[in-house]
């Protein structure tokens, strides 16, 4: 299983490096009336990271709340 994880990780790393090599062009981002120039792959990575982190944090806090309620219900029974 460790070998499979290592191969998958290497495959993801190679795919990322190919992606960076192909999308190394700069794009302009307008934010609060300011123009920023940044590489396209950085913009996409930030977008994916934010899209992953926000739902993850939501479910972590929701799970913590539900575990506490379950603990209180078990304690009450």
- The pLDDT, as a whole number, for residue 69 is 92
Give residue 56's pLDDT band: very low, low, confident or very high (50, 70, 90).
confident
Contacts of 39 (CB under 8 A, 6+ apart): 23, 24, 25, 26, 27
Question: What six digits make up the tokens of 68?
Answer: 């506490």
With the CA atoms of 13, 18, 21 and 22 taken in that order, what torsion angle do they form, in degrees rounded to the nearest 10? Answer: -140
What is the Cα Rg of the chain in Å? 21
State the average pLDDT for the chain.
Answer: 85
What's 25's DSSP letter? -
Please determine, for residue 17, whether its predicted confidence score (pLDDT) is greater than 80: no
Half-sphere exposure of 47 (CA within 13 A, CB side): 7
Alpha helices in the chain (DSSP H): 2-22, 40-76
């Amino acid at each position: 299983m460790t070998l499979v994880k290592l191969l998958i990780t290497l495959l993801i790393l190679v795919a990322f490096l190919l992606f960076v090599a192909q999308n190394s062009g700069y794009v302009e981002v307008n934010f609060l009336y300011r123009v920023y120039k940044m590489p396209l792959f950085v913009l996409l990575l930030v977008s994916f990271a934010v899209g992953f982190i926000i739902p993850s944090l939501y479910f972590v806090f929701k799970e913590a709340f539900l575990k506490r309620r379950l603990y209180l219900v078990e304690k009450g029974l």
